[in-house]
Chains A and B, each alone.
Chain A
Amino acid sequence: GENVEQHPSTLSVQEGDSAVIKCTYSDSASNYFPWYKQELGKRPQLIIDIRSNVGEKKDQRIAVTLNKTAKHFSLHITETQPEDSAVYFCAASKSVSSGSARQLTFGSGTQLTVLP
């Protein structure tokens, strides 16, 4: 099955700096890669996602890049703010038969701390 590795496990940056979190996946059939932000004790919130037919996607301060050949994808947060502090999870999934929903395989998470 799919295996997703995520690095680093913890990341501290100064407010205003950029943060980068990287993930690798093992199943070359995976074609959907969402990123979730989870604050302590709360639900994971989808912040951005990318599909395998696209190499990069950006939404304001957040961007995701995908390298299908190397099987890795990254989350980039620019101009970080204290409210960006949370745990970030990457995930990967692949298309399944019609009528079935995708299962997500999550990375181990990255605790991002933005220092004021």
Chain B
Amino acid sequence: GAVVSQHPSRVICKSGTSVKIECRSLDFQATTMFWYRQFPKQSLMLMATSNEGSKATYEQGVEKDKFLINHASLTLSTLTVTSAHPEDSSFYICSATRTGTGTQYFGPGTRLLVL
């Protein structure tokens, strides 16, 4: 199979703090990982494309200095929400693409609540 994990599954933080979310491909190597944000009853919106060993590519309207992405290995990408505010509260989901294929496998998501 192709298993993708995320940690933490949910986090509550105070406004102004930073939160780091990890995305791991457990049984395959992923050159590319994607980060999505999903608000309640809405679709998945691509935030950025994370490529191992290079800078992430951000979608229009996503602040790269606020959502820091690091993809240091073929199995791990991290998303750090810096200086989080209540409007950043959302469900963050990563996906990983097995190198050489086009299929995206999704992590279980991280529910972020900023108070």
A96 (CB) vs chain B CBs: closest residue: B102
A109 neighbours in B (Cβ, 8 Å): 41-43
Q: Mark A residues whose CB is within 8 Å of B.
A: 32, 34, 36, 41-46, 49, 89, 93, 95, 99-109, 111
CB-defined A-B contacts under 8 Å, sample of 15: A41-B91, A42-B109, A43-B93, A44-B106, A45-B106, A46-B104, A89-B43, A102-B102, A102-B104, A103-B46, A104-B34, A105-B46, A108-B42, A108-B43, A109-B43
Q: A89-B43, A101-B32, A106-B44 are in contact. Are A44 and B93 (CB under 8 A)?
A: yes
Where chain A touches its partner, the secondary structure class is loop
A-B contact count (CB 8 A): 55
User: Hey, what's the 0/1 contact readout for B97-111 against A, CB within 8 Å counting as 1?
Assistant: 100001111111101
| B46 near A42: Cβ-Cβ < 8 Å | no
Give the total of B residues in contact with A, Cβ under 8 Å. Answer: 22
| A106 near B102: Cβ-Cβ < 8 Å | no
| A107 near B43: Cβ-Cβ < 8 Å | yes
Q: A43-B93, A43-B109, A46-B103 are in contact. Are A101 and B43 (CB under 8 A)?
A: no
Q: Is B78 an interface residue (CB 8 A)?
A: no
CB contact between B108 and one of A32, A42, A89 (< 8 Å): that residue: A42
A42 neighbours in B (Cβ, 8 Å): 108-109
CA distance A32 to B105 in the complex (A): 15
User: Hey, what's the 0/1 contact readout for B33-63 against A, CB within 8 Å counting as 1?
Assistant: 0100000011111100100000000000000
